[in-house]
Amino acid sequence: MLRAGRLCPSTRQVLAAALLLAASGTGASAQKADLSGLWQTETAGSTVRIARCGGGYCGTIAGTAGSGLDAQNPDPSLRTRKLVGVQIMQAGTPSGDGFEGSLYNPKDGKTYAGSVTPKGPDTVEVAGCVLSVLCKRQTWRRIR
């Protein structure tokens, strides 16, 4: 409110707080969500532990349904290894709101260009792409 050409104390406080947020760039849209934690894949076939690695994130299988073996791996010597503990995501390059890198799909034994993008505090979109145009996307949910 204006009083004889001056701002009242409460208005000054609100303006000061707004200016401080704008100057520091720490508004909600400027902060990247921490993706570290345990995530359930869209099909509920696997649980993936995402953790910081380098400038981005890595994802390791923490639990899986089915045989739990890396049966489709292109390396025959790895086809009998357990999937639990296998790193399937390396997303170390910041890009837009998320991170880019590579994703290993144990269902077909192939590694794809990929990305992980936060869509909310408990949701991420994971995409694996061929030729950067043909992409499959999944929404993973955080396990609390």
pLDDT tens digits, 68-113 = 999 999 999 999 999 999 999 999 999 999 999 999 999 999 999 9
pTM: 0.75
For the record, the structure tokens of 130 come out as 């061929």
pLDDT attached to residue 51:
97
pLDDT at site 17:
34
pLDDT tens profile 8-27: 444 334 333 333 333 333 33
Q: For position 67, what pLDDT does the model report?
A: 84
Section 60-74 average pLDDT: 93
Cβ proximity of 89 and 105 under 8 Å: no
Distance of alpha carbon 15 from alpha carbon 8, whole angstroms: 11
Please give the pLDDT value at position 44: 80
Q: Which amino acid is at 84?
A: V
Q: Could you tell me if 7 and 15 are in contact, meaning their C-beta atoms sit under 8 angstroms apart? A: yes
Q: What is the pLDDT of residue 29?
A: 35
Question: By C-alpha distance, which of 101, 125, 96 is closest to 29?
Answer: 96
**Per-residue pLDDT, 23:** 34
Distances (CA, A) of 96 to 40, 78, 129: 23, 35, 17
Q: How far is CA 40 from the centre of its chain?
A: 12
**The predicted structure's pLDDT at residue 6:** 52
